[in-house]
Amino acid sequence: MTVSPQPTDGELLEIADALLPGQSLDSARITAGNLHHVVLVPGTAAVRVSKRPSSAREMPRRVEVLREVGRAELPFAVPEPLTPVTWFGERAAVAVSWVDGAELPEGQGDPGQIGELLRAVREVTVTPRLRESLYAPRHKGWADLLAEEVVPRLPDRWRDECRRRLEAARDLEPVPDALVHGDLGGSNVHWDEDGKVIGVLDWDQAHLFDPAVDAALMAWHGWDNVKKAVDPETYRRARIYDAPFGVGHLVGILDGRPLTNVEGYVRSIVSWLDSDTSTRGSGSVR
């Protein structure tokens, strides 16, 4: 199959049909994330289709992460690969199992459930196979990279403050590595109607690092809820990790991936810094 640089909905449905033969796609809907186009077939599957060559190359590794995390018997559902990674021209695609539930609006979420989710993820046993499938963590040099490549490109109004915040994150006392999901909150956490977490999606940015990073990412559900969900030290570290550029930007460095589009990365950081989210995210850690 020949596909265009930006696939049409028809092309994406063709890929889904090839991976799910005999399955009706009448109820299918199409969405997209940073790395993949996704054909959602409610109750059946989600078909992930790579957007760029880099995400196509990474798909087999990411699927292996799903398999290994799925073996950890977590107290919530994790998408299960239903098909092998299959190539359609320059695109790679895979069908994964459907996960029920829905995301919560920003600022909502039960602290008890948030705490259980974070505990379950950080306590996953990191098997040799899972370790091999994860991004190699950037334990050393991540702050130097940001100080050299990002901070000098920030507007004058933010440069000194962000350098100070970055140094505070860099100087945190190291803690033992744990599994970090890397993209918690929002649409990646599914809840049932009774307010219970029943599924966690999109493990593409999973890596080994300080679990306080995941706590910071759960601030989608409100910092007050995170504070109630974790111990004081984890909360303190989460706020410090979030403060320089927003923890979502930080993960793109911590998980070991190369920093390719520096200018685009900086633009996104400045937008966050200038937003109300930045003000809420970088305040006192008391």
Which domains are seen in the chain, by residue range? 9-97 (3.30.200.20), 111-281 (3.90.1200.10)
Tokens 């111990």, residue located: 231
**87 pLDDT more than 90:** yes
- pTM of the predicted model over 0.75: yes
**What is the C-alpha to C-alpha distance for residues 5 and 32, in angstroms, rounded to an integer?**
14
Q: Is 3 helix (H, G, I), strand (E, B) or coil?
A: coil
Closest CA to 161 of 264, 277, 270: 270
Q: What is the pLDDT of residues 114-147, one digit of tens each?
A: 999 999 999 999 999 999 998 776 667 889 999 9
**3 pLDDT more than 70:** no
Q: What is the pLDDT of residues 225-265, one digit of tens each?
A: 999 999 999 999 999 999 999 999 999 888 667 788 899 99
- Asked if 66 and 84 count as a contact pair (C-beta separation under 8 A), the reply is no
Rounded average pLDDT over 65-94: 97
Q: How confident is the model at residue 276 (pLDDT cuts 50, 70, 90)?
A: low
Q: How confident is the model at residue 82 (pLDDT cuts 50, 70, 90)?
A: very high
Total length of the chain: 286
Task: Indicate the average pLDDT of the chain.
Answer: 91
